[in-house]
Structure 1
Amino acid sequence: MRISPETQQLVKEMCLRDNCRTQNEFIEKAIRFYTGYISGQEATAYLPPALASVLCGTVQDTENRICRLLFKLAVEQDMVMNVLAAGMELPNEQFHALRGQCVQDVKKTSGSISLDDAVRYQRGGL
């Protein structure tokens, strides 16, 4: 392997900073790092530990926030369902048919349902 004198000097300087015992050890580490970077595999092995820690913490915080919001939303939805159930006298057959229709609507629209859509459906619209 042949390298320029400038690159050789850079290896000497960086070898000391990286606490490598030999220049050969430094060059092997550099080659492994670069090939890992190029292949895109095991990317976390090439991220600085501090950056990986920050990213993990950010993802965990976001996950916790979403879980709390979903819990609050489920509580509110349960309240709405109980209020509606208390005020409506819906026969079981109609209730089960409505559930099936709602499942199909949510699947068809990927969950993008509005109150306007529900009102339109209840009034006989499509």
Structure 2
Amino acid sequence: MRGLRSATQQSAFTQNGWLPCRKRPCVRRIMGGSEEITNKRRNEMSGNADKTKFSVRVDTELLELADQYIADATVQSRTELIEDALRFYLGFLTSKKAEDYLLQSLSSVIMGTVQDSENRLARMDFKLAVELSKLCHVISYTHDVDEDDLHKLHLKCLDEVKRINGAIDFESAYKYQKRET
């Protein structure tokens, strides 16, 4: 029969400090600190070697919703559900930090690129302004234009640039001067 031991086996157990467990067919040592070792071995066997036990207070509705997911076999236990939820949330926080870092890095790179482009455009505008100034001085020196005609020309050019949004076309100016338009 199972569970019955002979007198010699029983005396060997009691002499060495071993007694049979009442709940399970396992053996537990009665000496100091042995129950702690037995629980540690059980945790290692069940995969809980590095887990910490703590209590959590949650709303009843939230707990019922969690139990529904457990019943649907999405997860196997409340512990697994809490671990998955915690991993997901910590991943979200980590990605948020990474997103903030990437946004700052990307922003500084874009700002540098825009600043370089702005500097290049400003240098090009300066060179064009110098060339335009030279052209204006040569034209004013070679042509005798009075101030009234110059003012009318200024207003006409201002209106034309507004109308064509700054896209000056030499052919249009030529046709206007030759009165072809």
Bin the TM-score by the shorter chain.
0.5 to 0.7
1:70-109, aligned counterparts within 5 Å? 70-109=125-164
Give the CA deviation at 1:87.
0.7
- Change in CA separation of 1:125 and 1:98 when aligned onto 2, cut-off 3 Å: farther
Give the CA deviation at 1:57.
0.7
Counterpart residue identity of residue 104, structure 2: P
Counterpart residue identity of residue 173, structure 2: A
- Change in CA separation of 1:125 and 1:99 when aligned onto 2, cut-off 3 Å: farther
Give the CA deviation at 1:10.
3.8
Give the CA deviation at 1:79.
0.8
Greater helix percent: which structure? 1
Counterpart residue identity of residue 117, structure 2: T
Give the equivalent residue in structure 1 for 2:87. Answer: 9
Q: Distance in 1 between matches of 2:85 and 2:135?
A: 70
* Cα deviation 1:18-52 (Å, max 9, x = unaligned): xxxxxxxx49x95xx8xxx9xxxxxxx67432222
Gaps of 5+ in 2: 1-61, 67-80
Residue 113 (structure 1) aligned with residue 168 (structure 2)? yes
Q: Distance in 2 between matches of 1:106 and 1:6?
A: 64
Residue 53 (structure 1) aligned with residue 131 (structure 2)? no
Counterpart residue identity of residue 115, structure 1: F
Structure 2 residue corresponding to 1:69, chosen from 124, 128, 131: 124
**Matched residues, number:** 102
TM-score, normalised with respect to structure 2 = 0.47
Q: Distance in 2 between matches of 1:9 and 1:100?
A: 69
Structure with the larger RCO, 1 or 2 (CA within 8 Å, 6+ apart) = 1
Counterpart residue identity of residue 179, structure 2: G
Counterpart residue identity of residue 98, structure 1: L
Q: Look at both structures and tell me which one has the larger radius of gyration over its CA atoms.
A: 2
Give the equivalent residue in structure 1 for 2:8. Answer: none
Q: Secondary structure at the match of 1:117?
A: helix
CA RMSD between the two structures: 3.1
Give the equivalent residue in structure 1 for 2:29. Answer: none
| Identical aligned residues as a percent | 30
* Cα deviation 1:52-108 (Å, max 9, x = unaligned): 211111111111111111111101110111111111011222111111111111111
Q: Distance in 2 between matches of 1:7 and 1:83?
A: 78
Q: Distance in 1 between matches of 2:128 and 2:106?
A: 33
